[in-house]
Amino acid sequence: TTAIAVFTRDLRVHDNPVLAAAARADHVLPVFVHDDVLAGTGFATEPRSRFLHECLADLDARLRKCGAALVQRKGDLVNEVARLAHEVEASSVHLAADASGFAARRQQRLSAELAAERCELTVHEAVHTVLPAGAVTPQGSDHFAVFSPYHRRWADTARRTIASAPKRLRLPPGVSAEKTASAPKGNSAMPGGETEGRRRAHQWLNDDVDRYHTSHDDLAHEGATSRLSPYLHFGCISALELADEAAARHTEGADAFVRQLAWRDFHFQVLAARPRTAREDYRPHGDAWRDDPEALQAWQEGRTGIPIVDAGMRQLAAEGWMHNRARLITGSFLAKTLYVDWRAGAAHFLRHLLDGDLVNNQMNWQWVAGTGTDTRPYRVLNPLRQAERYDPHGEYVRRWLPELANLETPREVHQPWRLGEDELRELGYPAPIVDLDAARERFQQSRGKG
Ligand code: FAD
């Protein structure tokens, strides 16, 4: 028998149910398709493409150690996999379930194409997440809309067993371990791949996770959070394995960290049940979003004149990553303070984040905009209070806004307009593009809570 393992965003050999199931056949063809549709969406920015290539090179190297190799194709995933299934006379194809409408449609098409080849498609759940979408539901609904009750059930629900990494794989007769494109030799701060992901996960669990409950909101502290999100997004590491290993530590920090992994599952089950909420408001408020291209551009470029917002946006541009607290602050600033449609912000994030993920990005943006599962859609984060609280010494702002690095007090760093127009001009930093108090009133009135 011959099986095809189709890799999507599960680029690992450890705890990969797709590969483990395919490995039960006599011969296995591991495949990754560079899908034309995704390439055409602007999703494949340079840093993300680089990360993906590093992931694929690492996966290929690991597969070669087991005697196989990764076959890469470009085009439409369904057509390419169906063609390969025909060529190698595969009897089964294995694929991970995903939450988006795009993934669901692709899966249906693939199933139909393969049926014509008398080849069976098996879709594996809980490859990207700890629990499958729909594993726990409240009475009378297909998904949880509130996190806390979801989390309680999530924590008590049995999980699948960890899938072991295959030791020996045999390619189908006639297929040789083709040369795959090797990764560009990068010196990036965040190299992609399972090897690097596992290394970072172990380091995080051994050195830092136990402090997570107190450190995670500290904007300036580099080891405050795990920075594992790109590795989780591309599936270089398994969320289930990570959750199990963290939970085994039985510390307050590790428990708080596992709770964040539950947030990831929570958003996944919302989007899987309501795929349209990738674009449409989950809870519409009839918002009259403002069309303000200049403000949007100032926000994207990190020159709104509110330092804590600009620091976040510049971190995103420089690193392809942003601290969660900064995502909350910058997101709230765009959607509520500037009252610009959250979709514009989500699109910008999705393009620039290495962890840019349809599920987590869109659902968090909806949360931030108050159109999602947040139960307090009227509250507006005050960026100045947030700065005082989460960057009390102004260190984060100084790091990302060199023009403010030499100001003396945290108050000056966070509110440089207080120095006066002349000094602000000399610093080369803009005055705020918006009056924060007036903007908050505008938003709350718009939402009918004036
Ligand atoms: P840690 O604090 O170490 O958390 C561990 C893991 O838990 C993360 O890697 C992530 O997988 C998960 N996690 C943590 N917080 C959340 C959350 N709120 N929602 C879902 N999962 C979470 N995360 C993405 O992975 N991709 C995105 O595209 C994305 N877009 C976001 C957009 C906005 C506006 C906001 C507010 C948040 C977004 N997040 C997104 C969630 C969160 O900010 C990141 O997961 C986190 O900052 C990643 O850093 P970390 O790995 O150090 O997180």
Query: What is the phi-psi region of residue 250: left when phi exceeds 0, alpha when psi lies from -120 to 50, beta otherwise?
Result: left
Do 345 and 419 sit in the same domain of this protein? yes
pLDDT band at 46 (very low <50, low <70, confident <90, very high): confident
Which residue minimizes the CA distance to atom 11 of ligand 1? 229
Do 133 and 123 sit in the same domain of this protein? no
Sign of CA dihedral 439, 445, 446, 447: positive
Neighbours of 374 (CB within 10 A): 18
Q: Among 267, 403, 316, which residue's Cα sits nearest to residue 331?
A: 316
Do 206 and 309 sit in the same domain of this protein? no
Query: Does residue 279 belong to any structural domain of this protein?
Result: no
Long-range contact list for 242-251, CB < 8 A, 24+ apart? 242/201, 243/130, 244/159, 244/162, 245/201, 245/205, 246/205, 246/209, 249/205, 249/209, 249/210, 251/209, 251/210
Query: Does residue 93 belong to any structural domain of this protein?
Result: yes
Distance CA 440, CA 337 (A): 6
Best mutation site among 9, 355, 365, 390 for ligand 1 pocket (most ligand atoms within 8 Å of CB): 355
* Ligand 1 contact, 312 CB (< 6 A): no
Q: Is 169 within any annotated ligand binding site?
A: no
Atom of ligand 1 at shortest range from CA of 355:
26
Backbone torsions φ then ψ of 31, nearest 5 degrees: -130, 140
pLDDT of residue 222: 86
Neighbours of 318 (CB within 10 A): 14
Query: Does residue 32 belong to any structural domain of this protein?
Result: yes
Which residue minimizes the CA distance to atom 46 of ligand 1? 324
- Decide the pairing of beta strands 92-96 and 120-124: parallel
Query: Does residue 260 belong to any structural domain of this protein?
Result: yes
Do 261 and 358 sit in the same domain of this protein? no
Q: Residue 370 sits in a domain of what CATH number?
A: 1.10.579.10
pLDDT of residue 25: 98
Q: What is the DSSP letter of 335?
A: I
Query: Does residue 180 belong to any structural domain of this protein?
Result: no
How many A from CA of 265 to the centre of ligand 1? Answer: 11
Do 110 and 151 sit in the same domain of this protein? no
C-alpha atoms less than 13 angstroms from C-alpha of 73 in its C-beta half-sphere: 17
- Decide the pairing of beta strands 92-96 and 71-75: unpaired
Q: Which element (helix H / strand E) includes 120?
A: strand 120-124
Domain boundary among 109, 127, 145: 127
Q: Among 153, 155, 156, 94, which residue's Cα sits nearest to residue 119?
A: 94
Which SS3 state, helix, strand or coil, does residue 102 take?
helix
* Ligand 1 contact, 219 CB (< 6 A): no
How many A from CA of 106 to the centre of ligand 1? Answer: 26
Do 111 and 225 sit in the same domain of this protein? no
Do 37 and 137 sit in the same domain of this protein? no
Whole-Å CA distances, 176 to 16, 67, 92, 155, 272: 23, 10, 20, 45, 38
Atom of ligand 1 at shortest range from CA of 365:
34
Domain boundary among 245, 273, 301: 273
* Ligand 1 contact, 238 CB (< 6 A): no
Do 85 and 205 sit in the same domain of this protein? no
pLDDT reading at 42 higher than 70: no
Which segments within 136-247 are labelled E, that is strand?
none
pLDDT of residue 261: 98
* Ligand 1 contact, 261 CB (< 6 A): yes
Q: What is the average per-residue pLDDT within 422-448?
A: 96
Best mutation site among 154, 200, 364, 365 for ligand 1 pocket (most ligand atoms within 8 Å of CB): 364
Q: Residue 123 sits in a domain of what CATH number?
A: 3.40.50.620
Mean per-residue pLDDT of the chain: 95
pLDDT band at 36 (very low <50, low <70, confident <90, very high): confident
Read off the pTM: 0.97
Which residue minimizes the CA distance to atom 4 of ligand 1? 260
pLDDT band at 178 (very low <50, low <70, confident <90, very high): low
Count of domains in the chain? 3
pLDDT of residue 186: 59
Domain boundary among 273, 302, 321: 273
Which residue minimizes the CA distance to atom 20 of ligand 1? 264
Do 264 and 324 sit in the same domain of this protein? no
Query: Does residue 98 belong to any structural domain of this protein?
Result: yes
Using an 8 Å Cβ cutoff, are 29 and 84 in contact?
yes
Cα angle 227-33-346, degrees, rounded to a multiple of 5: 45
pLDDT of residue 376: 85
pLDDT of residue 187: 64
Query: Does residue 109 belong to any structural domain of this protein?
Result: yes
Q: Is 212 within any annotated ligand binding site?
A: yes
pLDDT digits (tens, 9 = 90+) for 207-259: 999 999 999 999 999 889 999 999 999 999 999 999 999 999 999 999 999 99
Q: Residue 267 sits in a domain of what CATH number?
A: 1.25.40.80
Query: Does residue 375 belong to any structural domain of this protein?
Result: yes
> Domain containing 18: what range?
2-127
pLDDT digits (tens, 9 = 90+) for 368-417: 999 999 888 899 999 999 999 999 999 999 999 999 999 999 999 999 99
pLDDT digits (tens, 9 = 90+) for 309-357: 999 999 999 999 999 999 999 999 999 999 999 999 999 999 999 999 9
Complex ipTM above 0.95? yes
Q: What residues pair up with 4 in beta bridges, in sequence order?
A: 29, 93
pLDDT digits (tens, 9 = 90+) for 115-152: 998 999 999 999 999 999 999 999 999 999 999 999 99
Whole-Å CA distances, 11 to 17, 56, 83, 194, 388: 12, 7, 22, 7, 40
Do 75 and 139 sit in the same domain of this protein? no
Do 99 and 150 sit in the same domain of this protein? no
Q: How many Å is the maximal CA-CA distance in the chain?
A: 76
Do 235 and 309 sit in the same domain of this protein? no
